[in-house]
Amino acid sequence: MSAEDQIKQTVTASDVVLFMKGTKSMPQCGFSSRVAGVLNYMGVDYTDVNVLDDEDIRQGVKDYSDWPTIPQLYVKGEFVGGCDIITEMTLSGELDQLFEKEGVAFDKDAAEKIRQANG
């Protein structure tokens, strides 16, 4: 199976997928840690894919999304963004709206606490 096929299968098999350096419990870069931290704190059930385990996936996901950096967040098979975009969406409430629209469970109080702490 090609890297593109593996990526497509992964992003369609789970509602929320984070391609990252490291894992959700052991991120290996600050940007991946920030996005995983937001998702973990908000209680989002997501699949993590460690791009450091497979160079084909690491490059393939950049080609798949036409986005040059890792981490990359997908919701319901659609690319949402990287660290800066996810941070902005979290602070503006857009991430909450996206999760609500797509039926992704998350802790609304936790999301509000993130905004209060960064407001």
Binding residues for [2Fe-2S] cluster: 29
What Rg, from alpha-carbon coordinates, does the chain have?
A: 14
User: DSSP letter string over 2-15?
Assistant: -HHHHHHHHHHHSS
Distance CA 34, CA 31 (A): 5
Q: Is the peptide bond before 71 cis (omega within 30 degrees of 0)?
A: yes
Binding site residue list? 29
Residues 6+ positions from 94 with CB-CB distance below 8 Å: 88
Residues 6+ positions from 107 with CB-CB distance below 8 Å: 41, 42, 43
